[in-house]
């Protein structure tokens, strides 16, 4: 996992991919050295307590609000999109042109909105309540998500890919893979886990998005990561959860 001297420290809830996974994918693709702090045993400074400590620090300039949090030396930062951009920029995974970096930011924030809406399918009322405490609302929210929002988001990214392909690009932006491609991969992987029937029905109309997912999965560092025990399997505690009753009919 290392090809330089930097050792980042990532603070994210152990046991789920969650928003931390968007950061892990950039670190892994870059082969950056990092410690997934909360996955260490508590006796070694890990566990959820490490996150609580990071959130409560008063010596880091601006306090952080929520994980994921990335520490790079003295610098602590939160917000998934900001962290992904920071790591990507240091490891050649942002577009070259300044204008394209802003475009990448906009794509990344759209991916964050997309992930938030996926989360809200199973937690439409409150993150602090169990899914079982909001099942009727989740069913209603999910049916609108699958009917309207999912095709709208997928259609948008399909258009972005088609437009970039018209100028010879195989990725969302520019000529090379960037962090936003890694993040879109993660959303598609999560959706295929959570809503396999709904995704199957939409695949043929969104072939560029589906191909991008496969292309990212084939990148050597990502393929190695996905096959490793560093990749936590999807489960029913994260953003992308499979509840058969919420998926479209097969
Ligand atoms: N917009 C933030 C959202 C951060 C967030 O919601 N983190 C979750 C875990 S994925 C959390 O623990 N939130 C605690 C809270 O909001 O009180 C980001 O993208 O990083």
pLDDT score at 1: 45
Q: Does 243 fall in a domain?
A: no
CA-CA distance, 147 to 22, in Å (whole number)?
26
Q: List the beta bridge partners of residue 77.
A: 70
pLDDT tens digits, residue range 178-192? Answer: 999 999 999 999 999
Specify the residue with its C-alpha closest to ligand 1, atom 10. 19
Q: Does 226 fall in a domain?
A: no
Identify the CA nearest to 57 among candidates 15, 112, 9, 89.
9
| E strand or H helix that includes residue 71 | strand 69-72
Q: Are residues 36 and 116 in the same domain?
A: no
Atom of ligand 1 nearest to the CA of 112: 19
pLDDT tens digits, residue range 40-59? Answer: 999 999 999 999 999 999 99
Specify the residue with its C-alpha closest to ligand 1, atom 20. 79
| E strand or H helix that includes residue 10 | strand 7-11
Pocket of ligand 1 contains residue 66 by CB under 6 Å: yes
Q: Does 214 fall in a domain?
A: yes
> Do residues 173 and 104 lie in contact, with contact meaning Cβ atoms separated by under 8 Å?
yes
Q: Are residues 29 and 64 in the same domain?
A: yes
pLDDT tens digits, residue range 10-20? Answer: 999 999 999 99
| Structural domains of the chain, count | 2
- Does 6 have pLDDT greater than 80? no
Pocket of ligand 1 contains residue 79 by CB under 6 Å: yes
pLDDT score at 36: 98
Both tokens of residue 122? 């199973």
The pLDDT confidence band at residue 2, using thresholds 50, 70 and 90, is very low
Pocket of ligand 1 contains residue 19 by CB under 6 Å: yes
Q: Is residue 199 reached through a cis peptide bond, with omega within 30 degrees of 0 on the bond before it?
A: no
Pocket of ligand 1 contains residue 18 by CB under 6 Å: yes
CA-CA distance, 245 to 250, in Å (whole number)?
11
Pocket of ligand 1 contains residue 186 by CB under 6 Å: no
- Does 139 have pLDDT greater than 60? yes
Domain boundary among 65, 90, 115: 90
Q: What is the mean pLDDT of residues 166-195?
A: 98
Domain coverage including residue 17: 7-90
Q: How far is the CA of 24 from the centre of ligand 1 (A)?
A: 16
Q: Does 143 fall in a domain?
A: yes
Q: Are residues 46 and 120 in the same domain?
A: no
CA distances from 165 to 17, 28, 29, 140, 242 (A): 31, 26, 23, 37, 33
- Does 63 have pLDDT greater than 50? yes
């Amino acid at each position: 996992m290392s090809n330089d001297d930097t050792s980042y420290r990532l603070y994210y809830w152990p046991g789920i991919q969650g928003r931390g996974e968007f950061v892990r994918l950039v670190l892994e693709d870059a082969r950056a050295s990092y410690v997934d702090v909360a996955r260490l045993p508590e006796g070694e400074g890990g566990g959820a307590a490490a996150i609580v400590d990071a959130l409560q620090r008063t010596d880091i300039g601006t306090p952080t609000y929520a994980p994921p949090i990335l520490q790079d030396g003295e610098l602590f930062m939160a917000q998934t999109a900001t962290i992904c951009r920071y790591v990507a920029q240091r490891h050649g995974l942002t577009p070259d042109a300044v204008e394209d970096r802003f475009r990448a930011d906009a794509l990344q924030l759209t991916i964050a909105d997309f992930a938030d809406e996926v989360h809200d399918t199973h937690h439409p009322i409150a993150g602090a309540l169990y899914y079982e405490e909001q099942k009727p609302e989740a069913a209603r929210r999910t049916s609108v998500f699958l009917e309207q929002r999912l095709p709208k988001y997928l259609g948008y990214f399909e258009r972005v890919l088609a437009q970039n392909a018209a100028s010879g690009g195989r990725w969302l932006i520019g000529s090379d893979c960037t962090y936003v491609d890694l993040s879109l991969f993660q959303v598609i992987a999560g959706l295929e886990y959570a809503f396999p029937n709904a995704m199957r029905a939409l695949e043929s109309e969104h072939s560029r998005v589906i191909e991008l997912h496969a292309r990212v999965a084939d990148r050597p560092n990502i393929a190695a990561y996905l096959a490793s025990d560093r990749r936590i399997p999807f489960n029913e505690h994260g953003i992308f959860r499979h509840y058969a009753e919420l998926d479209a009919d097969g």
